[in-house]
Structure 1
Amino acid sequence: MTKIRLLLADDHPLIREGFRSLLTKNERFELVGIAENGKELVELAGSLSPDIILTDINMPVMNGMEAIEQIHKLYPNVKCVILTMHEEREYIIKALKLGVYGYILKNIERFDLEKAIIAVYEGGKYFSPIVTNILAESVVRPEQAPVAELTPREKEVLELVAQGLSTKQVADKLGIGTRTVESHRVNMLKKMKVNNTAELIRKSIEMKIL
């Protein structure tokens, strides 16, 4: 029987050990490596040639989403699966846009985890039930009212804000004043018809602006 080569990435030692223990109990699986951050994950993806990567989202140096984006460009045959506690809709939507083969919550049972890995290896996809429900709700939601188009400068500000930069950091990066940055932010909230920055980023991801 051909072994399924797995690469695991998580920054928490106890979680890494827990999933290492689960994965090595199945004789069909071969855990070829474990990464502690996104940068290490990209490097190991190249040197170990796994079939499937199981990665968390929030990790130091480089997060899981950024790592997946690089891996898909460098090693398109590797199948990436998110393994996380995050069940927020914006994370799920962004992961789907990156082309992940699965989105699994960490409270998954061992049997279901094994089923998910095998399904992905055989060409399918796997999403935890809660994730599937969230996706279903997204499909049945009524169409949102159209929004005004953002200017190129507003998009620049939005991208930097989405990266977690403060108003001053955005201003310094773009060589503009903090009041100008704040003005752009207020205008974007009005155009996108949202109430705060978190909603602005979420809606921008949904509309593929980010």
Structure 2
Amino acid sequence: MKYSVVIVEDHILLSQALAGLVADFDKFKTLYVCKNGKELLTRFKDPKNIPDIVLMDINMPIMNGIETTAIIREEYPQVNVLALSVEEDEKTILKMLRAGAKGYLLKDTEKSILEHALEEVIETGYYHTKDVTNLLINSLNPKKEASVILKDREIEFIKHACTERTYKEIANMMCLSPKTIEGYRDAIFEKLHLKNRTGLVIYAIKNKIFTP
């Protein structure tokens, strides 16, 4: 018995090449190929067309791989989706995995790795390369930014800066010279990695220093 594989790829020559490649694997057979997600889901209406694995491209017309994978996860949970794409962008990879893909491979993957990935998906339910595994770990445990400690006078300045007062007016309210206030501003911008007053207001609201 061979496991069935469907290839969803909008480039005809590539889809045919993949179909031939999969057909050469001992444990797998190519059931059919589709040009996009909509065509695949239409074929799925016939139970005979539902495969064990879908090799899914991402960038396709009409319905892309991420949309299609999310629908498969909800309506056909027994089908394993293995992404096969040229996209190396981390955000795209994470979107595809979160949509329900059981693995992610690049199209320049070697034949032996593709075969191994298909086998792993059947046996364990997923296949992740080392890079994808690290990406998933980092997405679950994002690096925390170093906490910034603001002095009381800096916080007071920030609160004033969130109003329509000019720096000269802020200097008068804080009983400081305009030059000193400019020093506060520059030091805070550098400490918080900000470029302008607008960014400071957004930071203050986000960190509950100022309530509009």
TM over 0.5: yes
Partner secondary structure for residue 91 of structure 2: helix
- The aligned counterpart of 2:32 is 33
TM-score, with length taken from structure 2: 0.63
1:6 aligns with 2:20: no
Q: Is the radius of gyration larger for structure 1 or structure 2?
A: 2
Show CA shifts across 1:85-124 (max 9, x none): 1111111111221121111111111111011001101133
Query: Following superposition, which runs of at least 4 residues in structure 1 exceed 6 angstroms of deviation?
Result: none
Gaps of 5+ in 1: 147-185, 192-210
Q: Assess if the C-alpha contact under 8 Å between 1:10 and 1:36 holds in 2.
A: yes
AA matched with 2:70: E
Aligned equivalent of 1:58:
59
C-alpha distance in 1, partners of 2:135/2:74? 28
TM-score normalised by structure 1 residue count: 0.64
**Distance in 1, Cα, partners of 2:72 & 2:107:** 22
Amino acid at match of 2:13: L
- Shift in Å, 1:127: 2.3
Q: Which runs of 5+ in 2 are unaligned?
A: 148-197, 204-212
The aligned residue for residue 82 of structure 1 is: 83
Q: Distance in 2 between matches of 1:19 and 1:127?
A: 20
Amino acid at match of 2:31: V
C-alpha separation in 2, matches of 1:36 and 1:143:
42
Instruction: Name the aligned partner's letter for residue 99 of structure 1.
Output: G
For residues 137-181 of structure 1, give each alpha carbon's deviation from its aligned partner in whole angstroms, at most 9, with x where no partner exists: 5456412589xxxxxxxxxxxxxxxxxxxxxxxxxxxxxxxxxxx
Identity %: 35
1:127-142 residue pairs with structure 2 within 5 A?
A: 127-138=128-139, 141-142=142-143
**1:15 aligned partner:** 14
Whichever residue aligns with residue 95 of structure 1, its letter is M
Amino acid at match of 2:5: L
Question: Using the alignment, how far apart are the partners of 2:124 and 2:145 within structure 1?
Answer: 34
Output the CA distance in 1 between the equivalents of 2:138 and 2:32: 36
What does residue 97 of structure 2 align with?
A: 96
CA contact (8 A) 1:103 1:127 kept: yes
CA contact (8 A) 2:67 2:99 kept: no
- Offset at 1:72? 1.6
Q: CA deviation at 1:25?
A: 0.7
Whether contact under 8 Å (2:9, 2:60) holds in the other structure is yes
Partner of 2:41 in structure 1? Answer: 42
CA RMSD of aligned residues (A): 2.4
- Hey, what's the Cα distance between the residues in 2 that align with 1:103 and 1:20? 18
Counterpart of 1:18 in 2: which secondary structure?
Answer: helix
